[in-house]
Amino acid sequence: MTSPTISHFHDVHAHAATVLQWNQAYNQLTAGSTESSLMQMATPGCHLFVEQINQRVVQHGVAPKGKMCFAVPITVPGAVRMQGREADDSSLFFLQGGEEFMFHMPKGMKLLSITFEQELFERTLAQTASPRALRQLLRQPVIRVAPQRLALARERLLGVFSQALEGEGLSGAEALAHDCALEQAMLGELLHLMTDPGCDKAQRNPSSTRSFIVEKCHRLATTEKSHAPSVVELCERLNVSRRTVQNSFQAVAETTPLNYMRCVRLNGVRRALMSTRAAQLSVGDAAGQWGFYHLSHFAAEYHELFAELPSHTPRATLASAALA
């Protein structure tokens, strides 16, 4: 096992970059200072982490290749969307390795993520009584399970995770046995949860139109960053009414389309600043790359979202900039 780590952050981008194996970007959507925690560990067959962030965040990236990725919500204090599907604390999340994803995480949400090597998962899955039905179920990114059954599984999974955090210092055969026991305990709980009679194996949870609209706009904000489309332009491109766009953003992200698009662009500037040295990229040039041309207005909006002026954002060191 790699040494378990417990980290605390004041920035969602530093938090996201610390999660092992995952290629993803976190975008902060609510204003104020960030406080987050990340506990993670890895064995040869799985990677586990528990994260909690005090701000509303949208995560966008690609699941690690060659993996089977699960997540169990621990606390869900607001609206959640995973791959365009509504979710709650009775949902299990799943991603196939290499799959692009978008996840809307409310303020204060706590999540346990468990990623298995695909070979290990498939080998264990084949030993169950109904592997074909489970493979069918795993076509869904949001799996509805029996609430009481999930509550018990959540408690046991967190117990196993806590015990594993205390297992540092083992070596040799003892460490190998510890890692295998951890992997099998996690696999057993998840497979038992999905094979439970209270879990409908033929679930069909399609992505909503509202989520499609928000995700399409999110991509436009990141691909056309120097000239982000206005709300009117978004309506014209998507061929929908302004009210439909407004209602979609309120339902999915609990904010307005204008604020959402601005936040995504401000997060883009922040990532650019944090990944470069001041001599390489000025604040003004970083802002211009993301369509902010009035620096005084930009600085005020940046400060409102991150509780920090762009000139105070930590810049990359020479070594980290070379690796970026």
Task: Judge contact between 161 and 50, C-beta under 8 A.
Answer: yes
Least confident of 52-66, 122-136, 163-177: 163-177
**pLDDT bracket for residue 323 (50, 70, 90):** very low
233-240 contacts, C-beta under 8 A, 24 or more apart? 238/213, 240/213
List of domains in the chain: 2-195 (2.60.120.10), 209-323 (1.10.10.60)
Residue 266: pLDDT band (50, 70, 90) is: very high
Are 252 and 79 in contact by the 8 Å Cβ rule? The answer is yes
pTM value is: 0.92
Confidence of residue 212 (pLDDT cuts 50, 70, 90): very high
Mean pLDDT computed over 250-265 = 96
User: Percentage of residues in the chain with pLDDT exceeding 90?
Assistant: 80
Q: Which residue has the tokens 């509805």?
A: 144
Question: What is the layout of strands, in order, in the sheet containing 85-87?
Answer: 23-28, 57-62, 100-105, 80-82, 85-87
Mean pLDDT of the chain: 92
Query: Residue 171: is it exposed, middle or buried by C-beta count within 10 angstroms (0-12/13-18/19+)?
Result: exposed
**Higher-confidence position of 29 and 178:** 29
| DSSP per-residue string spanning 256-313 | -HHHHHHHHHHHHHHHHHHTS-TTT--HHHHHHHTT---HHHHHHHHHHHHSS-GGGS
Report the distance separating Cα 13 and Cα 26, nearest Å.
Answer: 6
